[in-house]
Amino acid sequence: MRFFVMLRFVTAGESHGQALIAWISGVPAGLAVDFVFVNGELHRRQLGYGRGGRQKIEKDQVEALAGIRHGQTIGAPIALRIENRDWANWEGAMAVEDMAGAEDARRPLTAPRPGHADLAGALKLNLHDARNVLERASARETAARVAAGAIAKLLLREFGCAVLSHVIAVGKARLERAASWSEIEAACANLESPLRCVDAATEAQMKNEVDAALRAGDTVGGIFEVVAHGIVAGLGSHAQWDEKLDGRLARAVMSIQSVKAVEIGAGAAAATSYGSEVQDEIRYDARRKRFTRPTNRAGGLEGGITNGEDVVVRGYQKPISTLRRALGTADLVTKQPHAAAYERSDICVVPAGGVAGEAMVALALAEAYLEKFGGDSLPETRRNFEAYQRQLDEF
């Protein structure tokens, strides 16, 4: 276990409750918080072909409750709030205080959806209504992660690092080539892009996969790839298991709802290839005074430490578990066979999963920057960073 964590972040809030909250502690004082950027990130999370009706209701906007004054962080815990507009339709069901007629208003869920947290959570909490479980398990929570991640991205930007993502697979449609950073930037800038894929022909196939799932009353998963560009070499550590940055990134991305596998760089394919096909040879660029690699199959990490190449992390998302053509389940109360519950739901969430992935990667990397460079105020952090850059120049 890690006893002292530089950057801490937690969230609170139910899917149909009043609001989501993100709490972040450890951000140095003096970071300018651009709320247009933060809200833009929240908007990006709401996009994507195959989303359900909820995204038409919500127009996520962040409200800062603490830790920011006159547009800058003050070195105190930051609290952010995102209102749930849908709360208006759930005020009775999700009322905080007990109320008359509470039993009728509850909107219980007793037919657990296979693949969702409903059954496991109901058993854990000894509930015969899974509502309390699913309200919190819901990936609506990723809005709070994205808000916190936006603060982390603003911090990383101070050190020349940017984090973006693109979609490399939806169902059986897969991008079969690598994407350049400029292609990923262009795909992210295009808010009209249905699935944030860098290749138009592949994106059309991906849309077909979503359409087929929609017609069948089914859902479809996929893979997003998060890339951190401009990252400094030497973050993380080889020295202790819980300091290894690859492990911390894997945990951060695996924690996103519906992610079932994480890859770094060549990932699973490396295990079935030869060493000569996997390792990245080392060169030296005298002009930049930096070691470079002609390839980046390591995904920017060796020994749990960044090597200066882009960090590349992929999240594999299973198809979501609320199906219009409901699967079979057993009722929590009667124990009788039943069709699994259906609540207004997405069909494909891979582009949104990627935005959540960016947030989690940005938070993990921001923490790694703060571990290496410290600093209570941004000028102090920057001074330490610049001294390290000089060390690399003189290496």
Ligand X SMILES: Cc1cc2nc3c(=O)[nH]c(=O)nc-3n(C[C@H](O)[C@H](O)[C@H](O)COP(=O)(O)O)c2cc1C
List of residues contacting ligand X (CB under 6 A): 52, 115-117, 137-139, 142, 256-258, 320-322, 345-346, 349, 352-353, 356
Torsion of Cα atoms, 226 then 231 then 237 then 241, to 10°: -10
By beta-carbon proximity to ligand X, the closer residue of 205 and 257 is 257
Least spacing, CB of residue 270 vs ligand X, in Å:
25
By beta-carbon proximity to ligand X, the closer residue of 254 and 330 is 254
Map tokens 């699935």 to a residue: 195
Least spacing, CB of residue 346 vs ligand X, in Å:
4
Least spacing, CB of residue 156 vs ligand X, in Å:
22
By beta-carbon proximity to ligand X, the closer residue of 356 and 361 is 356
Least spacing, CB of residue 343 vs ligand X, in Å:
8
Cβ neighbours of residue 355 closer than 8 Å, sequence gap 6 or more:
41, 44, 45, 142, 146, 165
Least spacing, CB of residue 117 vs ligand X, in Å:
5
Q: How far are the Cα atoms of 6, 7, 152, 174, 330 from residue 370, in angstroms, in the given order?
A: 7, 8, 11, 36, 48
CA-to-CA distance for 12 and 6, rounded, in angstroms?
A: 20
Least spacing, CB of residue 327 vs ligand X, in Å:
11
Q: Helix H segments across the chain?
A: 35-46, 54-57, 102-105, 118-125, 131-137, 142-157, 181-189, 200-215, 245-254, 275-278, 350-373, 378-394
Least spacing, CB of residue 167 vs ligand X, in Å:
12
By beta-carbon proximity to ligand X, the closer residue of 163 and 370 is 163
By beta-carbon proximity to ligand X, the closer residue of 59 and 383 is 59
Least spacing, CB of residue 383 vs ligand X, in Å:
38
DSSP sequence for 95-116: -SS--TTHHHH-----SPPTTS
- The residues facing 313 across adjacent strands are 226, 264
Q: How far are the Cα atoms of 117, 254, 365, 369 from residue 6, in angstroms, in the given order?
A: 31, 21, 11, 9
By beta-carbon proximity to ligand X, the closer residue of 318 and 382 is 318
By beta-carbon proximity to ligand X, the closer residue of 130 and 298 is 130
CA-to-CA distance for 4 and 117, rounded, in angstroms?
A: 31
CA-to-CA distance for 376 and 382, rounded, in angstroms?
A: 11
By beta-carbon proximity to ligand X, the closer residue of 258 and 296 is 258
How many CB atoms are closer than 10 A to CB 341?
19
CA-to-CA distance for 314 and 175, rounded, in angstroms?
A: 13
CA-to-CA distance for 246 and 110, rounded, in angstroms?
A: 39
By beta-carbon proximity to ligand X, the closer residue of 223 and 320 is 320
Give the long-range contacts of residues 44-47, CB within 8 A, separation 24 or more. Answer: 44/146, 44/188, 44/191, 44/355, 45/142, 45/143, 45/146, 45/352, 45/355, 45/356, 46/352, 47/191, 47/196, 47/351, 47/352
Least spacing, CB of residue 347 vs ligand X, in Å:
8
DSSP character at residue 320: P
By beta-carbon proximity to ligand X, the closer residue of 137 and 187 is 137
Least spacing, CB of residue 42 vs ligand X, in Å:
12
